């Protein structure tokens, strides 16, 4: 009788193991994965996404993001560089300047500020024009004729020069000095009515800036 009980127990145990194995096989088959004889040790390899596809997608995402950041940084750097070398709004505003000369009476001079420097605009009288034209150029330190210093030879009464002494950069006084042109009180430079240096330490004539007539009453500096 004892032997019958043992046989019955072995048969029951085998049935249970077989049933569990079959159930495990059915579970893996229903998920379309390989059967590992009931072991869960290899379940991760069965269910994970293919390694090659996952790593490739991550690499593409990383490289794409890095290239986008590099491109953005390069664009910002280029914009800052261009902005740094571009003229500011106030500089552009002073690059060209229009002046109404109708209120300048003959024999008088006005001073305007252009590009941070004083500019003398003089309405010369007929006598001053004659003196400038009759000068012996061989006596000049910086040789220039009066006509060479005019923007329009048909309007010799208008003379425009920078108000900066060519010696040390002082501002000369108009209608002063031996030649009644400009006189620099700092070191005694005398300029004639054409702005040419005639006496004193200054080596050059007063500079003539770029200017032109826009109309009979308006001149443009720059």
Residues recognised as catalytic = 187
Helix (H) or strand (E) holding 190: strand 189-191
DSSP bridge pairs for 123: 158
Least Cα distance to 150 among 139, 141, 142, 161 occurs for 161
Compute the distance between CA of residue 208 and CA of residue 150 in angstroms, rounded to an integer: 8
CA terminus-to-terminus distance, the chain: 128
Q: Which DSSP state fits 88?
A: P
Per-residue CA distances from 161 to 38, 128, 138, 208, 209 (Å): 103, 16, 22, 4, 6
């Amino acid at each position: 009788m004892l032997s019958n009980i043992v046989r019955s127990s072995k048969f029951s145990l085998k049935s249970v193991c077989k049933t569990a194995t079959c159930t495990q096989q059915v579970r893996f088959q229903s998920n379309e994965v390989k059967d590992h004889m009931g072991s869960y040790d290899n379940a991760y390899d069965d269910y994970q996404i293919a390694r090659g596809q996952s790593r490739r997608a991550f690499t593409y995402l990383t490289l794409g993001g890095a290239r986008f950041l590099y491109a953005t940084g390069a664009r910002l750097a280029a914009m800052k560089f261009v902005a740094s070398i571009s003229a500011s709004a106030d500089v552009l505003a002073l690059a060209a300047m229009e002046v109404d000369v109708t209120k300048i009476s003959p024999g008088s001079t006005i001073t305007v500020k252009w590009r941070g420097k004083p500019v003398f605009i003089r309405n010369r009288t007929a006598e001053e024009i004659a003196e400038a034209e009759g000068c012996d150029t061989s006596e000049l330190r910086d040789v220039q004729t009066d006509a060479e210093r005019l923007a329009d030879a048909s309007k010799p009464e208008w003379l425009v020069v920078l108000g900066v002494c060519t010696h040390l950069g002082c501002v000369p006084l108009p209608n002063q000095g031996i030649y009644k042109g400009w006189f620099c009180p700092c070191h005694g430079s005398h300029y004639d009515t054409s702005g040419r240096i005639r006496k004193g330490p200054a080596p050059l004539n007063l500079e003539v800036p770029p200017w032109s007539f826009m109309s009979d009453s308006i001149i443009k500096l720059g």
